[in-house]
Amino acid sequence: MKNNQVPQENTSPGKFPKKFYFSRRKYCTFCKDKIKLIDYKNYKVLENFILETGKILPARVTGTCNFHQKQLSKAIKRSRHMALLKFIEPKRG
């Protein structure tokens, strides 16, 4: 029960959560470059947001904002349709 009490003390006093300072903060790379529309033709950029198997990486891993993540998932799906990116492949070995 003592272990349960400790984290409550951590969270209560500060207005901003203290974890903010400890984890290196992720940022949206599209907001940083000030890109408004994500283009499905620009497949080299989209490759950074998929795994080797072709899966789309979640926003909590990459740090993209909600607005851009929605666009990104659509852009990846369009470029898959146009055979610029591959569809999901099962892992080998």
Partner 1 sequence: MNRKYEIGFVINPEANEEEIKKIIDSIVEIIKKANGTIENIDEWGRRRLAYTVKKHNEGFYVFINVEAIGSTFVEIERRLKLHEKVMRFVVLRLDDKLKKANRLTRKWKRIERMSKRNVESEPDDEIINDDDDGKED
Contacts with partner 1 by CB under 8 A lie at 6, 9-10, 14, 18, 21, 31, 34, 36-37, 40-41, 67, 78, 80-87
- Cα-based torsion angle of the residue sequence 52, 39, 30, 85 in order, rounded to the nearest 10 degrees: 0
The residue (of 11 and 58) whose beta carbon lies closer to partner 1 is 11
Region class of 20: left (phi > 0), else alpha (psi between -120 and 50), else beta: alpha
Q: Closest approach of Cβ 23 to partner 1, in Å?
A: 13
Region class of 90: left (phi > 0), else alpha (psi between -120 and 50), else beta: beta
Q: Closest approach of Cβ 21 to partner 1, in Å?
A: 5
Q: Closest approach of Cβ 24 to partner 1, in Å?
A: 13
